[in-house]
Copies of this chain bind each other. A is one copy, B any other.
Amino acid sequence: MRTVSEHRAAVAALLPRSPVETRPLLGALGLVLAEDLRSPIALPPFDNSAMDGFAVRSVDVACATERDPVRLPVAEDIPAGRTDSPPLLPGTAHRIMTGAAVPPGADTVVPVEHTGGYAGAAVRIDRPAAPGAHVRRAGEDTAAGAVLLAAGTVLGAAQLGLAAAVGLPTVPVYRPVSVLVLSTGSELVAPGEALRHGQIYESNGTMLAAAVTEAGGVAEQLRFVPDDVPEFLARLAMRFAAGAPDLLLTSGGVSAGAFEVVKDALADRGVEFIRVAMQPGGPQGAGRLVGLGPDSAEVSVVTLPGNPVSSQVSFEVFVRPALRAAMGHPRPDRPVVRVPLGESLRSPAGKRQFRRGTLDAVAGTVRTVGGPGSHLLSALARADCLIALDGERGEHREGEDVEVWLLER
């Protein structure tokens, strides 16, 4: 029997770091920068005005007072975007707008609020201006060649804005991992269709595809297949002919029953089926599938158990961290905190048990929602965390600190 850590490592080994690809900025939102991003230019690229006002020489207004203001003839209008550099002659001013280049010869900007008005020919300035005031220096934010963002940075709005500001139309990121999701089970019926006795609605495909998407991967859902080995293999081979995914993720058909389609189909093809010391989610499988992919390529496979809660908890424990690590995410795991239990609990000895929980922010405790049964999907949907109970002691007393994985939405 494998420990949770051992199987986490086995799954992680199936998902190496994703290749680097160059993407336009908005297509890189939420992805991870694969290389240090260096600035090709200084930012700001040139000295520019922080205010709407007048570019002057500070010496020309050094003695200005309200009683004895200085009047300077206004020689030029410099709106933002003016691309020539009209020099400022001593004893004159240029009207300048926020963001416009400070003209050669000027060393300060007098904001329009500090002037006594502008009649079109001359401006009245009634106080001194310190050299450099209201001037943003070239390179003050970033020097040319400086590292703007380190490899491993998650790209959000501000980071993409910065890349745009230094003129980069694209960024190198780790490619999102492609995951083919396939559920198995002869009892499954698609939502929206009629249910006969003994049948249930297929939910793992939707749940896993959504979870892959939330984790930053690209999910493709294959329509579920019955417990039929030839049909399972044929469906996969047909899909693989169009190109193999980075990961095949199945649910169901891995247990000890008489009709275990995934196990029966893949056990001789490179996938190892084992039991993990956890509850729910004991039966697991992982490996590299050979002989079905195009050009005999190997396809990484993780096979999850079929009970919905087992499937989703297994995804959280094994697949999500491996997917996010493959995409370079600096924090592949869920945030983990230790919180006192709001109730006493028992867990199976020798196993790691993952219970569905809710945090009580007022009491500062965590409680279970629903029982340990792996069919209790509505409790999972109400949970905001997983309570990861340590398997060495089967008894957990109220008030005892336990490990809690925060499920954020």
Contact = CB atoms under 8 A, between A and B. Distances in A.
Contact of A375 (B44, B161, B308, B409): B44
B50 A197 contact: no
A290 interface: no
Interface string A27-52: 00110000000000101111000101
A162 B382 CA distance: 10
A185 B409 contact: no
Nearest to A100: B198
Copies of this chain present: 2
Contacts of A160: 206-207, 210
Contacts of A19: none
Interface stretch (A57-65, A76-84, A229-237, A390-398): A76-84
Contacts of A380: 158, 161-162
Nearest to A136: B375
A195 B202 CA distance: 56
Interface string A363-385: 00000001001011111110100
A158 B209 CA distance: 11
Given A45-B200, A156-B214, A211-B157, A185 B140 contact: no
Contacts of A227: 79-81
Contacts of A169: 190-192
Given A79-B258, A307-B98, A207 B379 contact: no
Interface string A205-225: 111111101100000010000
Interface residues of A, number: 102
Interface in A109-144: 112-113, 136, 140-142
Given A186-B80, A210-B157, A214-B157, A46 B256 contact: no
Contacts of A195: 41, 45, 167
Contacts of A25: 191, 206, 210
A375 B165 CA distance: 10
Nearest to A101: B198
Contacts of A208: 157
A288 B164 CA distance: 30
A296 interface: no
Interface string A246-287: 000000000111110000000000000000000000000000
Nearest to A187: B81
Given A160-B206, A192-B167, A206-B160, A187 B255 contact: no
B198 A161 contact: no
5 contacts: A81-B198, A99-B200, A136-B373, A157-B315, A164-B205
Given A79-B227, A140-B373, 19 more contacts: A26-B206, A44-B375, A52-B256, A52-B258, A83-B199, A98-B255, A100-B198, A112-B257, A141-B377, A142-B378, A148-B381, A156-B210, A156-B214, A158-B207, A161-B312, A163-B206, A164-B191, A164-B205, A168-B192
Interface of A: 25-26, 29-30, 41, 43-46, 50, 52, 77, 79-85, 95, 97-101, 112-113, 136, 140-142, 148-149, 154-169, 185-193, 195-211, 213-214, 221, 226-227, 255-259, 306-308, 312, 315, 370, 373, 375-381, 383, 407, 409
